[in-house]
Amino acid sequence: MILNPTGVQGAGLRELDRTQRGAFANKVLVRPGAARLVVVSNRVTIPDASGKAVAGGLAVALKEALEAHKGLWFGWSGRVAVRPSTQPQITDKGAVQYAVMDLTAQDRQEYYSGFANRALWPIMHYRIGLSEFSRADYAGYQRVNRAFAHALTQLLRPDDFIWVHDYHLMPLASELRALGVTNSIGYFHHIPWPAPEVLGVLPGCSKLLRVMLDYDLIGTQTERDADNLRRGLIEELGAFAIRPLGVALDGKRTRVKAFPIGIDYDALASAAEKSGAHRLVRQTRRSLGERSLIMSVDRLDYSKGIPERMEAFERFLLANPDQCGRVTFLQIAPTSRSEVPEYALLSRAVNQTLGRINGDKGEPGWIPIQYVTSAYSRNVLAGLFRIARVGLVTPLRDGMNLVAKEFVAAQNPKDPGVLILSRFAGVAQQLPQALIVNPNDKFEVADAIRRALDMSLEERCARWSAMAGTLRRWDVRWWASAFLRDLRQYGQNGAAQHVAEPDQDAASSQSAKS
Ligand code: GDG
């Protein structure tokens, strides 16, 4: 099943359609202020008539922030039209206004499937070999960003502050500035920001770096991403470092800071607690019998390391023959971006690996790996996480990874499962109490599975409660509030953004270059 029939993918929960989402509690997270908040994202889903369409941590947090500021949410409708929109279509829902644009098939191909998902996505995930750069796609990417800027400008008020999301829209601030917009503009990058040596491989990378200087504040998932971006601006463009977080060049200044995205912890924990009655959860529990469940949930994406993980599970079975028939590995992998050739290839590779392992290791009455490409409701996912003994989250590279956080939130505090986590997921920097592994080393992952299955209740509880404490404190509401607070603070210079004299850091970084 295709996760989203339009093939539209964005970050995290924004990718799921209404039927796949559950509704969560709605608390105000940002104090209302005089200025209006404008959120811009690749994809905008307008709530349905029941008003409860927007759910999932990220969408809830953004909607709450928008409600608190009587805000505007602008972006692509997800529709493809014969003619491009020149005017956004506006819908008012409660305190929030939605403004969406249709794209042409060519726009969608070049901007979305082409440059964003075939050139930027792989480079940002350190997959240089998979990155397909085309000048036509790049031109389409710029064209759509320019068209969005033109349409958005018509709706802006002088005191609006603007929050742009993700790699589809990196040049948006620059296009808005070119149209004379002087409002505060922030950007959050949901995926990794690679080292300059990696990004530098992409043709036109210095242009992409330069447009980032038009944001007042740039948020990344981790400190490492923030360092990589600052280093790129300094080394590739010759920008100055301005203490503590700033980078400046040609009279422009931006700040780069890590804001690790969180989840709606309490909503997920409560959904998991109540999920036992759900038919699919009951059925799964019954079919497991005495077997332990190892579970993974990912979009079907090569960054998530799905075939590598299956091979690590195979290695675990080879090394632990006593476990054959006693564990089941459930991989939920909703299909994603299937119009992009690399994703179709991945799908074939996963099916081959799966077939081989199940054929080799399976027995009548026991299939080692259960693999489903359908999406499930959030409540069902929460319930499945709760009955899993092990959460196996081993992306080859990931900005944050919300699934790891959701797995922890869904656990029964009295008998929690164990999280195995890739060191290359941003979340690993927040959750050192997980079993941290290198996803490229199937022997290491196999050992971690054994260790997780053998772990004492005492150790499981200690690890889980430390992780739960972190996730509860730095949840999605914290994330949105922290970013918006800093945007207000740093955005005060507005468009003038004049930088007088470089400070000491600046001087030293400049002399290091020369
Ligand atoms: C990007 C970055 C960053 C998945 N299958 C189903 C389902 N999901 C939900 C998960 C989770 C979300 O989708 C996936 O989020 P991730 O963070 O794991 O990964 P990406 O989609 O790649 O997201 C990532 C994120 O943006 C946020 O900034 O963490 O690094 O790549 O919430 O639960 N939800 C439902 N049914 C499914 O079958 N309901």
CA torsion 419-128-229-407 (nearest 10°) is -10
Six token digits for residue 369: 């790996």
Q: Examine domains 35-262+476-493 and 265-473 and report if their fold is the same.
A: yes
Which among 125, 189, 190, 278 is annotated as catalytic? 190
The answer, yes or no, to whether residue 278 has pLDDT greater than 80, is: yes
Classified by CATH at the fold level, domain 35-262+476-493 comes out as Rossmann fold (3.40.50)
Catalytic status, residue 278: no
The CATH H-level superfamily of 265-473 is Glycogen Phosphorylase B; (3.40.50.2000)
Q: What is the pLDDT of residues 107-153, one digit of tens each?
A: 999 999 999 999 999 999 999 999 999 999 999 999 999 999 999 99
**Shortest-distance atom of ligand 1 to CA 304:** 22
The answer, yes or no, to whether residue 21 has pLDDT greater than 50, is: no
The answer, yes or no, to whether residue 57 has pLDDT greater than 80, is: no
Read out DSSP for 338-374?
Answer: TTSHHHHHHHHHHHHHHHHHHHHH-BTTB-SEEEE-S
What residue's CA is closest to ligand 1, atom 33? Answer: 403
Query: What band does 324 get if pLDDT is binned at 50, 70 and 90?
Result: very high
Looking at residue 435, its pLDDT comes to 98
**Shortest-distance atom of ligand 1 to CA 192:** 30
The total of other beta-carbon atoms located within 10 Å of residue 153's CB is: 14
Of 11-25, 144-158, 400-414, 435-449, least confident by mean pLDDT is: 11-25
Q: What is the pLDDT of residues 91-114, one digit of tens each?
A: 999 889 999 999 999 999 999 999
Give the strand pairing for 292-297 and 89-93. unpaired
Looking at residue 34, its pLDDT comes to 62
Task: Quote the mean pLDDT of the chain.
Answer: 87
Of 304-313, 318-327, 503-512, least confident by mean pLDDT is: 503-512
Looking at residue 28, its pLDDT comes to 33
What is the side-by-side strand order in the sheet with 184-188?
89-93, 96-103, 72-80, 37-43, 161-165, 184-188, 217-220, 252-258, 246-249, 240-242
Ligand 1: residue of 2, 4, 16 to mutate (most ligand atoms within 8 A of CB) is 16
Q: What is the pLDDT of residues 220-273, one digit of tens each?
A: 999 999 999 999 999 999 999 998 899 999 999 999 999 999 999 999 999 999
pTM of the model: 0.90
Query: What band does 46 get if pLDDT is binned at 50, 70 and 90?
Result: confident
Read out DSSP for 188-255?
Answer: E--S----HHHHTTSTTHHHHHHHHTT-SEEEESSHHHHHHHHHHHHHHH-PEEETTTEEEETTEEEE
Which among 107, 160, 398, 486 is annotated as catalytic? 398
The total of other beta-carbon atoms located within 10 Å of residue 168's CB is: 28
Report the percent of the chain where pLDDT is more than 90: 78
Looking at residue 492, its pLDDT comes to 58
Looking at residue 86, its pLDDT comes to 81
Query: What band does 504 get if pLDDT is binned at 50, 70 and 90?
Result: very low
Looking at residue 336, its pLDDT comes to 86
User: What mean pLDDT comes out for the span 430-451?
Assistant: 98
User: What mean pLDDT comes out for the span 212-225?
Assistant: 97
225 CB under 6 A from ligand 1? no
User: What mean pLDDT comes out for the span 351-362?
Assistant: 97
Q: Which residue has the higher pLDDT, 25 or 226?
A: 226
Query: What band does 58 get if pLDDT is binned at 50, 70 and 90?
Result: confident
User: What mean pLDDT comes out for the span 200-219?
Assistant: 96
Report the percent of the chain where pLDDT is more than 70: 87
Looking at residue 50, its pLDDT comes to 56
**Residue ranges per domain, the chain?**
35-262+476-493, 265-473
123 CB under 6 A from ligand 1? no
**Shortest-distance atom of ligand 1 to CA 399:** 30
User: What mean pLDDT comes out for the span 316-324?
Assistant: 97
